């Protein structure tokens, strides 16, 4: 029987009671880092990353040998407003592509040795158009969160959550505007490739949606303006926290979903690192709000967890150095 939460108040309680990193392991990993055969600090961010992994995994020898990539797909009622360059049926077509192994995320998962699972979430029942009412009722929202929660392999040593959902940059922009304010223009971008008119339309739709759900906070923002795949990612990220599995955040949509957890419970994303910053302009803003510095800056804007999956390689490099290198004493190298 899967361990899961019963309702939203149970989820909130679990977020509040979630464990932090292991302080003793953090110290031990930091001590080990200081003894490795390199000048102090010479591996730069890789050193911080390995120590952070050690803290969450509760060991001075962290691993990234069993990464798990979980992809959620959902459809969005707001596409009726014409906010995407691609038709909504592409969501289901791409799920078939994921299942057949043909998408970018399949190649990246294989390259970095990750188990990859795909969860299409009621693709034949798009969320409601959020300019008209809440994207999801409580039952649908709870179901998507629970699907995410139970999707995480408890044996994984690293988690990536990804998404597919035509229209979901519009949803993510609405979530970001509701959480952090500003103007809709600050948060909308070209997504899969809308033109200037499409961009203006997205901003208008996002403004309307956020106005419609004014006063929503935390998880309620995710229910009213998000989508099933965003809720799935949030559920998976929350579960990873309860299991102390480190998470690599992907792009704008993943980060918007995650930000609802942070808005609900400050510190809820302490077990998350930003895998990359995407070309979608709202993403850099979101990461700045969350105080997360991206590992990669390569101009990706695909979603699917692709940027985070690419960053698995960086994390694997960091823990390989940290856990595999000889110490000065072991190697008989003079220590400065």
| 61 conformational bin, left if phi > 0, alpha if psi -120 to 50, beta if neither | beta
Nearest distance from C-beta of residue 180 to a second copy, angstroms = 25
- Pick from 280, 228, 283, 291: nearest CA to 256: 283
**Candidates 82-90, 213-221, 224-232, 258-266; binding stretch for a second copy (CB under 8 A):** 82-90
Q: Is 115 in the site for a second copy (CB under 8 A)?
A: no
With CB under 8 A as the contact rule, the residue among 12, 27, 38, 204 that binds a second copy is: 38
Active site annotation includes 304: yes
Q: Is 279 in the site for a second copy (CB under 8 A)?
A: yes
Instruction: Find all residues with CB under 8 Å of 48, minimum gap 6, and list them.
Output: none
Binding mask 156-195 for a second copy (x = CB under 8 A): ------------------------------------xx--
With CB under 8 A as the contact rule, the residue among 25, 46, 78, 158 that binds a second copy is: 46
Q: Is 317 in the site for a second copy (CB under 8 A)?
A: yes
CA distance 289 to 284: 9
Angle at CA 252, nearest 5°, toward 246 and 256?
70
Instruction: Find all residues with CB under 8 Å of 174, minimum gap 6, and list them.
Output: 130, 187, 205, 206, 209, 210, 225
Nearest distance from C-beta of residue 148 to a second copy, angstroms = 24
Q: Is 89 in the site for a second copy (CB under 8 A)?
A: yes
Nearest distance from C-beta of residue 109 to a second copy, angstroms = 9
Q: Is 267 in the site for a second copy (CB under 8 A)?
A: no
Residue 68, CA distances (Å) to 8, 114, 173 in order? 25, 5, 27
Q: Is 284 in the site for a second copy (CB under 8 A)?
A: no
Nearest distance from C-beta of residue 43 to a second copy, angstroms = 6
Q: Residue 110's CB: how many other CB atoms inside 10 A?
A: 12
Long-range contacts, 100-105 (Cβ 8 Å, 24+): 103/304, 104/302, 104/304, 104/306, 105/69, 105/71, 105/162, 105/304, 105/305, 105/306, 105/309
With CB under 8 A as the contact rule, the residue among 8, 59, 61, 90 that binds a second copy is: 90
Q: Is 9 in the site for a second copy (CB under 8 A)?
A: no
Q: Which is nearer to a second copy, 48 or 186 (CB)?
A: 48
CA distance 319 to 52: 10
For the annotated catalytic residues, the residue numbers are: 304
Give the interface with a second copy as residue ranges (CB under 8 A). Answer: 36-46, 85-87, 89-90, 93-94, 96-97, 100-104, 106-108, 110-112, 192-193, 279, 295-302, 306, 309-310, 313-314, 316-317, 320-321, 324-326, 330-334, 336
């Amino acid at each position: 029987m899967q361990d899961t939460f019963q309702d939203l108040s149970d989820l909130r309680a679990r977020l509040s009671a979630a464990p932090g990193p292991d302080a003793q392991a953090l110290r031990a990993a930091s001590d080990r880092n200081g003894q490795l055969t390199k000048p102090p600090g010479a591996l730069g961010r890789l050193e911080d990353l390995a120590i952070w992994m050690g803290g969450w995994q509760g060991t001075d020898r962290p691993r990234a040998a069993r990464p798990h990539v979980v992809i959620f797909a959902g459809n969005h009622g707001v596409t009726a407003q014409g906010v995407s360059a691609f038709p909504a049926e592409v969501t289901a077509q791409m799920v078939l592509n994921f299942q057949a192994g043909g998408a970018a995320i399949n190649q990246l998962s294989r390259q970095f040795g990750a188990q990859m699972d795909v969860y299409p979430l009621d693709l034949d029942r798009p969320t409601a158009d959020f300019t008209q009412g809440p994207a999801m009722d409580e039952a649908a929202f709870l179901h998507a969160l629970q699907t995410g929660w139970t999707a995480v392999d408890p044996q994984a040593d690293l988690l990536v959550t990804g998404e597919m959902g035509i229209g979901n940059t519009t949803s993510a922009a609405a979530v970001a505007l509701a959480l952090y304010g500003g103007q809709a223009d600050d948060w909308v971008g070209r997504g899969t490739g809308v033109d200037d008119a499409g961009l203006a339309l997205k901003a208008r739709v996002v403004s309307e949606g956020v106005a419609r759900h004014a006063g929503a906070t935390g998880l309620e923002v995710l229910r009213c303006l998000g989508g099933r795949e965003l809720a799935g990612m949030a559920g998976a990220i929350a579960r990873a926290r309860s299991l102390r599995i480190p998470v690599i955040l992907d792009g704008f949509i993943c980060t918007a979903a995650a930000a609802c957890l942070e808005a609900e419970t400050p510190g809820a994303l302490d077990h998350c690192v930003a895998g990359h910053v995407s070309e979608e302009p709202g993403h850099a803003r979101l990461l700045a709000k969350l105080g997360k510095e991206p590992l990669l800056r390569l101009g990706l804007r695909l979603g699917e967890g692709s940027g985070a999956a690419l960053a698995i390689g960086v994390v694997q490099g960091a823990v390989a150095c940290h856990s595999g290198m000889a110490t000065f004493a072991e190697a008989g190298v003079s220590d400065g």
